[in-house]
Amino acid sequence: MSSDDVHVCHVLRSQCITILKRRFGNKQLIINRHMETLLHISSVKSGLSGNTQPLRQLYDLIESQVRSLNSLGVSSNSYGSPLSTREREQVGAMFT
């Protein structure tokens, strides 16, 4: 690899890092997005019909968002109570 190639790689790497920091560097913005996703979950309709797919998808979505929040250092104690009420409403809607 020539010195020109090394220079180009360094420039590209620096630009990539700048773009990633701009997009993902605001931790609070990322946390807010995960919280918005949890707060705006739609009701699922499967009820007693035996189709559990919507419930599984709801569970997967919630689990993914909670794991992401945990990885960002957000404790479930800081958001658990309001969300648990909301999630109970969503699951309860399945059986009405």
Contact criterion met (CB below 8 Å) for 44 and 94: yes
pLDDT for residue 61: 92
Residue 27 has pLDDT above 80, yes or no: yes
Contact 25, 32 (CB under 8 A): no
Average pLDDT over residues 20-36: 83
Domain ranges of the chain: 26-95
pLDDT at 64: 93
The per-residue pLDDT for 88 is: 60
The answer to whether the beta carbons of residues 58 and 44 sit under 8 Å apart is yes
pLDDT at 48: 62
Q: pLDDT of 46-86, one tens digit each?
A: 656 677 888 888 889 989 999 999 988 888 887 766 566 65
Q: Are 47 and 90 in contact (CB under 8 A)?
A: no
pLDDT in the model for residue 21:
77
Using CA atoms in the order 65, 70, 72, 76, what is the torsion angle rounded to 10 degrees? 90
